[in-house]
Amino acid sequence: PPPPPPPPPPPFDPLKGHTDFETNIPPIQRSFGTPPLHHVEKCEQRRLLVKKAFLHGWTGYKTYAMGADELMPISNKSHNPFGGWGATLVDSLSTLLIMELDSEVELALTNITALNFTINENISVFESTIRYLGGFLSAYELSEQKYPVLLDKAISLANTLLPAFDSPSGLPYHHWNTATKKSPNQNTFFAEAGTVQLEFMMLTRHTGNPVYQEKAQAITDLLDRMGYEHGLRIPGLYPSEMDTRGRFKKSMVSFGAMGDSAFEYFLKEHLLVEGENPQYARMYTESIDSMTHHMLRQLSGTPLLYLPPYNSITRTPDSYMDHLTCFVPGMLAMGAKVLDRPQDMILAKGLLETCVYMYRHTNTGLSPEIWSIAGTEPYDRLTYNRTKEELDYARNWWFKPNATIPPPPSIPPAQVPEEELYPENYVLGPMVLASDHLRIIDWRYLLRPETVESIYILYRITGDPKYQEWGWDIFEAIEKHCKTPSAYAVVRNVLQYTNAEHPYMNHADSMESFLFAETFKYLYLLFSPPDIISLDHFVFNTEAHPFRR
């Protein structure tokens, strides 16, 4: 008899993406095998609690501020800093789809249909791109293109933003009035110039109209050509403040505020084109090599790494690091896999130690917005994470008669061994002692996502259970200290423990949309099966909206 026909392929799952495409990129995620029941149950419980938390905030937004940019979580008023086009609503769409809350998406769509992006107000081109354009396009894909209105809105928003790119250099203006088609000034930032590429490339992919991708590529090409005459002083280290004639106005380089996501997008453009254009990896590598060489710092005898802004003229570090910089560990870890740079994985882990330390050492378990670490020295691969005693011994052993060469410091394996992937009752190790060196500069926790973003990426790459525990502790701290009757609020002082009698004393009346787009999404994915939004099949925009590879 003829052999039975092969079984039909499983139906396409939008949360798993395309699983059989050809790529030049090596696998990013580790192989997790089949997890034991105790692990599945624990993750499922935690995932549901994250979803419940998301729904608590979403319900508050729907009840008191539906269609506005933000809910103010204490007064239950609304706030419209992003054009009033429903930033929280649009930023939540991809998370709603990942959490399989499709009926909520249908409800949200009723508010999207009437959106008009022509408004006589100065709006941020960057925020409109990452929150709205990224939100529409990702939701369009994750809903299997079921709602054409999402693509229509992406096109009409992009078309209203396009004139903002008609500056002397092609760099978009920081602020743009979509009604008068004017900008109040000539300013922009490196992060703003370098963070439109993924969204505009995706829009070309979905519409077939090359204009969006061309505008974005022209910016990348300009950055690539930049030299001394533009104010660049160290190759790959682009200062943050620019004008739209294409000149850096100051010399401070930052992997945090105003610089961050432009470095991230070099790597992610490489991913989105599956490595087919060598320009993006070249630019990323140049920036990361210069950052490691000039900017990165270590605290002697500890695994903590520190990445403050850096003056590229005087060649001196600034005195602080911000929470925004905590996306860097995730970026470095991905780059380590994608571009075969194993040393970057060590840096990723060291920086994440610092970011997580900033949560673990405070009374609330939440991280401050800005901090300073005293007594650091430039990063040195040979002395990093070694105590003074160890280094003294390593330096002096040959003066001792009969002494033999000491073994080099042991490097933990890059990946957790299979048998240690799913421990029962995992207990986190003690914290590094560094509080003597630490000073908090801005005490607020703004509900930011960067540390949980890096935790999620490091977990998917290494499988190390400590990342899930770190993430869980952060989630519990958010539940305990940020929750209000209607949603979640910014904490004013992470050192101040609020007790049950005065729960709101330490809150500020603010909740940015990235709580829904990013913080809750990354926490949810940290406890989801690893083939859900796998890093091998999706690339996230900087607002955590996944695009299909």
Please state, in angstroms and as integers, the Cα–Cα distance from residue 422 to each residue in 182, 215, 295, 415, following that order. 56, 47, 37, 13
Position with the least CB separation from ligand DMJ: 542
The yes or no reply on residue 261 touching ligand DMJ (CB under 6 A) is yes
Tokens at 161, concatenated: 């933003």
Query: Strand, coil or helix: what is 473?
Result: helix
Q: Using the rule CB under 6 A, which residue among 15, 385, 543, 549 binds ligand DMJ?
A: 543
Any binding-site annotation on 542? yes
Residue written as token pair 């508010």: 111
**247-248 sheet: strands from edge to edge:** 187-189, 241-243, 247-248
- Which of 69, 192, 241, 260 is catalytic? The answer is 260
- Cα–Cα dist 337/334, whole Å: 5
Phi and psi of 548, rounded to 5°? -75, 135
Q: Using the rule CB under 6 A, which residue among 125, 232, 324, 489 binds ligand DMJ?
A: 324
Which candidate, 388, 379, 374, places its Cα nearest to that of 347? 379
Which candidate, 210, 216, 272, places its Cα nearest to that of 17? 272
Question: Is there a catalytic annotation at residue 543?
Answer: no
Q: How do 252-253 and 187-189 pair as beta strands?
A: unpaired
Residue 176 vs 514, nearer CB to ligand DMJ: 514
Which candidate, 102, 190, 205, places its Cα nearest to that of 158? 205
Q: Using the rule CB under 6 A, which residue among 174, 448, 481, 545 binds ligand DMJ?
A: 448
Please tell me what DSSP assigns to residue 293: I
Question: Which residues, numbered 79-98, are part of the site for ligand DMJ (CB under 6 A)?
Answer: none
Which parts of 334-448 are beta strand (E)? 370-373, 377-378, 438-442
Question: Is there a catalytic annotation at residue 127?
Answer: yes
- Which of 192, 322, 450, 543 is catalytic? The answer is 450
Question: Is there a catalytic annotation at residue 369?
Answer: yes
Name the helix (H) or strand (E) containing 359.
helix 342-360
Name the helix (H) or strand (E) containing 59.
helix 37-65
DSSP 213-267: HHHHHHHHHHHHH--GGGT--STT---SEEETTTEE-S-EE-SSTTTHHHHHHHH
The yes or no reply on residue 542 touching ligand DMJ (CB under 6 A) is yes
Residue written as token pair 């390593």: 394
According to DSSP, the residues that pair with 321 across neighbouring strands are 371
The yes or no reply on residue 514 touching ligand DMJ (CB under 6 A) is yes
Considering the complex, what minimum distance in angstroms separates the CB of residue 454 from ligand DMJ?
Answer: 12
The separation between CA 62 and the C-alpha centre of its own chain, rounded to angstroms, equals 26
Residues marked as binding? 542
Residues marked as binding for Ca(2+)? 542
- Provide the annotated active-site residues: 127, 260, 369, 450
Binding site for ligand DMJ (CB under 6 A): 260-261, 324, 448-449, 514, 542-543
